[in-house]
């Protein structure tokens, strides 16, 4: 085999079997067979990667291999970093320095290509980085060390590189060099399952736990009562009730019209409770088909019905140790209500097709926009279930009863959607605010959110204008304002808004406003009179400007 500074090897198992029985210069590899058997037994009897690596690294140091240094690296495919997991011939500090990216240095190239590499005359090799700084200048210049060879083989499982085994020594016999590469490759194949399991249990598991923790903290932040926008008197009462009930185990019934934010209130209760680390499972009862509702809520056993190919845990079981939020609970059928009543009373249920009781520790928060008392009177909602749910009722007020909260919510949504759509909306114009405040909001906060998302998309000049709002807010019928949707009324509305905005921008100075609008001062005065606009309204208190008085 020709000698080169760096050689990439394609492993030939047949060649290895043939050559394994040969001994050269007294360094016979036939003695490795019992050691390979010992490594195999260690891997079979224990899933602990550390036990196997301890044996492997020890073998690499002893006769007949007599490696000067040995390393086992692991590859984190998410961060794309390669780090030294275990070694000999390196200090702890040198091990900590041994971090590489895929494709970086000899080890990085092995991970990138999935092929073994022999780096002859290591200290002259352009891919040798000495990242660990384990090779001092004397060692690099020594005559014997000039022939140092570094071997690196991939640890692979299902065509995926998991790490590498590297070894360093001086070779005088090239046959032994190739045999040692193939021997290390065999060992790498043997430990690959244990390495994969270690990566899953440590790297992947830790990453998932960190991600779960990050998401849980994000949810906590989202569902803090302080993050529910609004300081009106009705909302202050809601906050007071959340604070009272959060640290109890009481069942909560949240009442209110569709779109008022009942889910936010439920989340605030859970994430400020003692079981905040537990799951928060949301079930929209209105979206559950009658024939699947029981299975979705309580789960089913394998084979309990056609298509039940395996056991399925329902929402209640998934919420064990935490909170389940039953949104639109008034939509459940009477048969499901009976099973729900048992869960509330006994904290147990059976899966569909099962007979073994499943015990759970779950806090129940229910919500509805329907009048449950009327439903009880009509016989469509169980009376006993109603009283079980109605332990601690919280009524979320409709948006039309929240006064200035409309403005606070509007500012919040505009800021959020501006960022989402890469825009810089700086403000909502006065006429647009007047329209938002005047509207009766049958769809509540959800309707306001949707309207402002549309307005942000339509805005062309970093301001939300009245004409960016939908026609339903601009008709006298819907808003009680003087604005209509005929062409003439639309023109008047735009004219009114532009005059008001210009006067606000110019501190009520009519001359400046007229110039900005492309009008004469007299024409502006006529149009202001038509709209009953007084320039003094827009003067800042204490201003000494008097050029347009």
Q: What is the pLDDT of residues 50-85, one digit of tens each?
A: 777 887 887 787 777 778 888 999 998 877 888 888
Beta bridge partners of 359: 348
- Count of beta carbons in the 10 Å neighbourhood of residue 276: 16
DSSP 147: G
Name the pLDDT band for 22 (thresholds 50, 70, 90).
very low
The pLDDT score that the predictor gives to residue 155 is 92
The pLDDT score that the predictor gives to residue 374 is 94
The pLDDT score that the predictor gives to residue 29 is 59
Mean pLDDT of 104-129: 87
Which residues make Cβ contacts (< 8 Å) with residue 71, sequence separation at least 6?
A: 84, 86, 87, 90, 98, 164, 165, 166, 167
Q: What is the mean pLDDT of the chain?
A: 81
Identify the residue with better confidence: 450 or 231: 450
d(C-alpha 505, C-alpha 516), whole Å: 10
The pLDDT score that the predictor gives to residue 16 is 42
CB 116 within 8 A of CB 154: yes
Decide: residue 80, CB within 10 A, 0-12 exposed, 13-18 middle, 19+ buried: middle
**What tokens does 218 get?**
């994000």
Name the pLDDT band for 142 (thresholds 50, 70, 90).
low
CB 128 within 8 A of CB 150: yes
The pLDDT score that the predictor gives to residue 384 is 94
Identify the residue with better confidence: 232 or 265: 265
Distances 121 to 169, 170, 178 between C-alpha atoms, Å: 11, 9, 15
CB 410 within 8 A of CB 430: no
Q: Is the pLDDT of residue 17 over 90?
A: no
Comparing CA positions, the residue from 167, 213, 197, 3 lying closest to residue 73 is 167
- Alpha-helical segments (H) within 348-486: 372-378, 383-389, 405-420, 430-438, 444-458, 476-479
Residues 429, 431, 437: CA angle, nearest 5 degrees: 100
CB 344 within 8 A of CB 389: yes
Comparing CA positions, the residue from 267, 132, 187, 213 lying closest to residue 11 is 187
What SS3 state is found at 115? Answer: coil
Q: Write down the residue that tokens 């009976």 correspond to.
A: 338
Identify the residue with better confidence: 215 or 124: 124
Query: What domains are there in the chain, each with its CATH number?
Result: 6-202 (3.30.450.40), 223-397 (3.40.50.300), 400-538 (1.10.8.60)
Phi, psi at 161, each rounded to 5°: -80, 125
Mean pLDDT of 130-153: 71
**What tokens does 56 get?**
């492997």
Q: Is the pLDDT of residue 461 over 70?
A: yes
Q: Write down the residue that tokens 């000039």 correspond to.
A: 146
Name the pLDDT band for 21 (thresholds 50, 70, 90).
very low
Beta strand 81-88 with 427-428: parallel, antiparallel or unpaired?
unpaired
The pLDDT score that the predictor gives to residue 398 is 94
Comparing CA positions, the residue from 361, 412, 444, 369 lying closest to residue 222 is 412
The pLDDT score that the predictor gives to residue 254 is 97
Distances 544 to 239, 516, 547 between C-alpha atoms, Å: 45, 21, 9
**What tokens does 10 get?**
């394609």
- Alpha-helical segments (H) within 200-300: 205-222, 233-245, 262-271, 290-298
d(C-alpha 410, C-alpha 365), whole Å: 28
Extended strands (E) in 396-478: 427-428, 463-464
DSSP of 484-515, one letter per residue? -SSHHHHHHHHHHHHHHHHHHHTTT-HHHHHH
Name the pLDDT band for 28 (thresholds 50, 70, 90).
low
Residues 306, 308, 309: CA angle, nearest 5 degrees: 115
Q: Which pTM was predicted? A: 0.54
What SS3 state is found at 12? Answer: coil
**74-83, 139-148, 154-163: which range is least confident on average?**
139-148
Mean pLDDT of 293-312: 84
CB 194 within 8 A of CB 47: yes
């Amino acid at each position: 085999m020709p000698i080169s500074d760096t050689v990439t090897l394609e492993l030939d198992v047949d060649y290895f079997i043939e050559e394994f029985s040969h001994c050269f210069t007294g360094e016979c590899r036939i003695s490795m067979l019992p050691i390979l058997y010992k490594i195999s037994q260690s891997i079979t009897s224990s899933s602990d990667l550390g036990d196997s690596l301890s044996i492997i690294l020890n073998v690499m140091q002893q006769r007949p291999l007599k490696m000067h240094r040995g390393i086992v690296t692991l590859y984190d495919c998410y961060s794309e970093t390669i780090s030294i997991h275990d070694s000999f011939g390196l200090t702890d500090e040198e091990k900590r320095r041994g971090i590489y990216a895929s494709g970086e240095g000899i080890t990085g190239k092995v991970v990138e290509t999935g092929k073994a590499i022999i780096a002859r005359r290591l200290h002259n090799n352009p891919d040798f980085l000495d990242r660990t700084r384990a090779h001092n200048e004397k060692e690099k210049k020594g005559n014997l060390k000039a022939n140092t060879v570094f071997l690196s083989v991939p640890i692979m499982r299902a065509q995926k590189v998991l790490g590498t085994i590297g070894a360093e020594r001086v070779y005088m016999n090239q046959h032994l060099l190739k045999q040692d590469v193939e021997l290390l490759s065999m060992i790498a194949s043997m430990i690959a399952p244990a390495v994969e399991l270690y990566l899953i249990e440590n790297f992947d598991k830790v990453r998932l736990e960190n991600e779960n923790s990050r998401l849980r903290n994000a949810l906590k932040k989202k569902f803090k009562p302080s993050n529910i926008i609004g300081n009106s008197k009705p909302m202050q009462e809601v906050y007071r009730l959340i604070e009272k009930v959060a640290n109890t185990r009481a069942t909560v019934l949240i009442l209110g019209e569709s779109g008022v934010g009942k889910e936010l209130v439920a989340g605030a209760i859970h994430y400020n409770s003692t079981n905040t680390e537990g799951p928060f499972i949301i079930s929209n009862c209105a979206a559950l088909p009658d024939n699947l509702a029981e299975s979705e809520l309580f789960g089913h056993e394998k084979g309990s019905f056609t298509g039940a190919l395996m056991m399925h845990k329902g929402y209640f079981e998934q919420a064990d140790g935490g909170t389940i939020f039953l949104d639109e609970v008034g939509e459940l059928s009477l048969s499901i209500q009976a099973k729900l009543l048992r869960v509330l009373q006994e904290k147990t249920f059976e899966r569909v097709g099962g007979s073994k009781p499943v015990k759970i520790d779950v806090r129940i928060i229910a919500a509805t926009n329907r009048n449950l008392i009327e439903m009880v009177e009509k016989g469509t909602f169980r009376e006993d279930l109603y009283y079980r749910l109605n332990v601690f009722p919280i009524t979320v007020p409709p948006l039309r009863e929240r006064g200035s909260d409309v403005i606070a919510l509007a500012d919040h949504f505009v800021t959020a959607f501006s960022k989402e759509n890469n825009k810089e909306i700086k403000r909502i114009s006065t006429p647009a605010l007047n329209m938002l405040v005047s509207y009766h909001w049958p769809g509540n906060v959800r309707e306001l959110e949707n309207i402002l998302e549309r307005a942000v998309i339509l805005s062309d000049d970093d301001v939300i204008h009245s004409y960016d709002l939908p026609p339903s807010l601009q008709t006298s019928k819907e808003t009680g304002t003087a604005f209509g949707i005929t062409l003439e009324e639309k023109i008047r509305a735009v004219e009114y808004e532009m005059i008001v905005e210009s006067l606000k921008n110019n501190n009520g100075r009519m001359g400046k406003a007229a110039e900005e609008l492309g009008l004469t001062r007299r024409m502006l005065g006529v149009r202001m009179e038509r709209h009953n606009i007084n320039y003094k309204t827009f003067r800042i208190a204490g201003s000494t400007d008097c050029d347009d008085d």
